[in-house]
Every structure is written in structure tokens, then in C-alpha cells.
Amino acid sequence: MIPFTAPIDDILFSLRDVAGAADLPDWDDDLASDILTAFAGFAEGVIAPLDESGDAQGCRLESGKVRMPDGFPEAFQQLAEMGWQGLTAPERFDGMGQGPLIAAMVSEVFSGANHSMQMVCNLVPGAISTLLRFGTEAQQETWIPQLASGAALSTMCLTEPGAGSDLSRVRTKATRTGGTWCLTGEKTFISGGDQDLSDDILHLVLARTGAVEDGVKGLSLFLTSKSQAGSSLKITRIEEKLGLHASPTCQMAFDDVPAELVGAEGEGLKAMFTLMNHARLDVALQGVAHAARAHAVAKAYAVERKQGRKPDGGDAILADHADVRRMLDEQNSLTLGARAMVHVTLVEMAKGSDTALVDFLTPVCKVFCTEAGIQTANLGIQVMGGYGYLTEYRVAQTWRDARITSIYEGANGIHAQAIATRGLRAQQGAGAEAFDALIGRLTDHPAVLALREEWRRARDCVAKAADPAALAHDFMTLTGELFFGAVWARIATHDDTPEMERLSGLVLHRAPPWRTAA
């Protein structure tokens, strides 16, 4: 297996120079570099070496308790002792007090090193944000220090059997007796629903406090924990999956589990979206991480593997062949561009001046970046041929692990439909208008501006369509391509090396060579 190396320089360049983080008033370039370098060293030395063995061994359910693969508990203990679980927790709760930009850099490296472990650990920042915004002072004082120290990990319990993306079908019931709430029902596809890494687990649970006919308006958010629930919360199974074998995906049965209301009754989705929006950008970065890893492995193999002859009769390597170079270029351009798309979104979020724009960009990033991760892993397998299909070089595992990203945290088709409907209609299309303006701020490249004109015509067509859902996939694809082209034009303005000029030319001038020649 080719060892994992964190793409530190690429991440810092993208966030600082391309996305414009350096222009933010609270950006500390030295601090960002120091934190990323420190975590990268830990990830390369401790977390990444467990990725392949964890995939082979997987998780197991023993007497109703989940056991993680060998080495995972010890690695998590080191992670917690170094304070990484408290990266975004406020300092008053013994955290580092870092913001989303620093967290994004660390999260990408974590995912690239060991996606399964990242899945179990990285719902904590979203849980902390949810508690800070909606939790009571007592809930914050009780749980945030535990989350920051690693004493507790967290879950997001939304999905139920028969109620996947349609949350109006949630049947888990919350009942109140006096001042006490209890939860009864089933939840499924719960990442880290149980594990033996942390002493406790905080479960954020969406449950019904209103009538079934109230739909999503009858849902509220609750917190409970492994220690509170005791035997009234059972892990009934862990799923056998295509990938992420070292991340326990649990089915959970709640039987009068004591719980506390988080936020206002009937406003569960409002509270839960704080957690979900964090998760969606985090999933986009998982796609970026897989893309970067697949390209790194394929490139390392292609520059060493001898294959065929050069025109002068000497030995050729794989990278000498035009079709292999094409695939490596596509991998690299997708990786760099997808990363920049997320970073631009995060910087716009940090500015805090245009929530409609961030709401529009988030699903675009989720769709484009997860598809980029899957495509780049697929190309990596192709570059390496039969060896790519074997487990030896790990790129097959990269594809298996990446495949879920286009499904969870909202299937990509659902996000496409949201862009084609709410994205063009909410607040008179404010998000789409802000996106249009963003493209103009990012670049004045003629090819991008021409694509923006095509996008504008498509936007007007979709907005007037009787059934915009039928046009959603194509419109999301076009929107992603426009954003991708704009960030690539910006990459080229900040890195004028011959390699970046060549790649930007491939992205921004995609006409077939015979058409150009004609």
C-alpha cells in the first residue's frame, strides 16, 4: 500500500489564496499552518495505518455491544488526549475555540487518512454547534466539555425503517410524563450508534411530539445518552456494507428511553439542520479527501510502473501514455477544483453576510464533490488496471468508501431537486442571484462568463417549468460545472506554474481538439 500523505500545501493554498480566507479579519495564517501540520503528522503516523486493517477486520456486535477494529480505541485515546475532539469547542468548555475553516482543513485530512474513524468522531463539531445554538445552559455545561475531551462521542438519529429521506414519516414517539420525556421507536443507519472508543455517547434524536398528520411540524429534537438510557436502548444490529467497514452503522431500538428536549417543541428540524448543514459540507470534504487520495495513489503508481515503449524504443512508464495522462489530469483537476468549491463556500459562511448564498452553495458542493470523489477513485482503478482492482494498493477501498457519500446526508438527487425548486424560489431566488454575482466576483474569464449565460437561460427555464424536478439533475450538473470552472479560473490566477496553466486550460477549454483545429 502507498502510505497516506496529507496534502498540506494544496489545502492551505486553496483556502488562503483561492477562497480568500487570508482576507478575513480573524484569519491567522501561521496558526492555520501549525494546526494543520500537527494534525497531519498524527494522521499519517497513527490514524492512516489503521485504515486498511480496519477495513479488513470490520466492526462486530458482541452481546449487544459494538467492538471496533484492533487499534482503534488506542488511536482514539491519543486523539482525545491531544485535544483534537475539542477543536471547535469554545475555550470556556476546555476546547480550542477554532472556527469552521480550521475544522475543515483537519476534517479533510482525517477523512483521507481514515474515513471510517472520521465518521465516528466527526459529528462532534455539529453536535457542539447545535447545543450552543439551541441547548439550555445546563445541557451545554453537561455535554460540551465531555464532547471536547473525548469522554463522549455523538450521533445524529434521524433515519428510521420506512422513513429515509422523507422525515414526515418519522414514527419514533416522544411522550411526556410530568417534566420527563421518554422516547420509543426505532432508528436505523446510525453511524457510531455504539462503539467502544468513548465512555459515553450523546444521541441527538428526532422524534414525534405531535400527531402523525402534522408531518415535519410535529417533530422535536431530543438528547439522550448511552449512560442515561441503560438497557432501554438496544443495538439490534450493525449493517454489513460495501465500504466503511470500520464504521459501525447501527440499528437502534428505543424503549421508554429518558430524554431531554433540545430547543422548542415542534421545531426539531430547525435545530437538526444546524447539525445537518455541518454534515453536508463535511461530506463534500470527504469526497475531496477520497479524490486526493485516489489521485496520489494512481500518480505514484503511474510514474513507477513500466509499460510499453517510447518512440525512441526505451522503456515507457504508464504516465507516458496519453490516455493515462488524461485520467491523471482529470483526477487532479477534480480534486483541486472540488476542494476550492468547498473552501469558497466556507469563506462565504465565515463572512456571515449572505446566508442565502451559503444555502445555495452547500448542496452544490455536496453533489459535485461527492461525485468527484467517486469518479476520481474510479479513474484510479482504471489507471492501475488489474492492480487497481486488487486490495493491495487500496484504491479499490477508496472507491468503496467514497460510494456512500453521494447517498447519505441527503441523496444527491434530493439536493438537485432542492436547488431546482426552493433554491430558485426562496426569497425570490436570492440564493441563485447571489450565486450569479459570486461567479462574477471570482473571475472574468470569457469561457466561464459564457457558461454563466447558459446557466442563466437554464435558470429561467427551470424557474418557469411546470415540473422543475424533471430538469433538476441537468440543472444541478450545469450549476456545479459553472462553479467548478469559476474556481479553476481563480486557481490559475494565483498559481501560474506551467502545470496549473495546463490543467486550467483543460478545464476551461474543453472543446475536442479536432473541433478547435477545424
Q: Which residues are designated catalytic?
A: 409
Whole-angstrom Cα distance, residue 44 to residue 469? 43
Integer Cα distance of 125 and 99 in angstroms = 10
Contact 250, 127 (CB under 8 A): no
Show the cell assigned to 147: 464532547
Residues 364/342, Cβ–Cβ less than 8 Å: no
Q: Tell me how far apart the 2 most distant CA atoms of the chain are, in Å.
A: 86
Plot region of 266 (φ>0 → left; ψ -120 to 50 → alpha; else → beta): left
- Bridge partners, 159 (sequence order): none
**Rounded Cα gap, residues 225 and 278, in angstroms:** 21
Distance between CA atoms of residues 24 and 150, nearest Å: 30
Measured CA angle at 435 (ends 431, 436), to 5 deg = 120
Evaluate the CA torsion angle 413, 414, 419, 421 in order and state its sign.
positive
Q: How far apart are CA 158 and CA 156, in angstroms?
A: 6
Q: Residue 470: CB partners within 8 Å, gap ≥ 6?
A: none
Buried/exposed code over 428-454 (b: 16+ C-beta within 10 A; e: otherwise): ebbbbbbbbebbeebbebebbbebbee
Q: Is there a contact between 117 and 68 (Cβ–Cβ < 8 Å)? A: no
CA angle 145, 235, 194 (to 5 degrees): 30
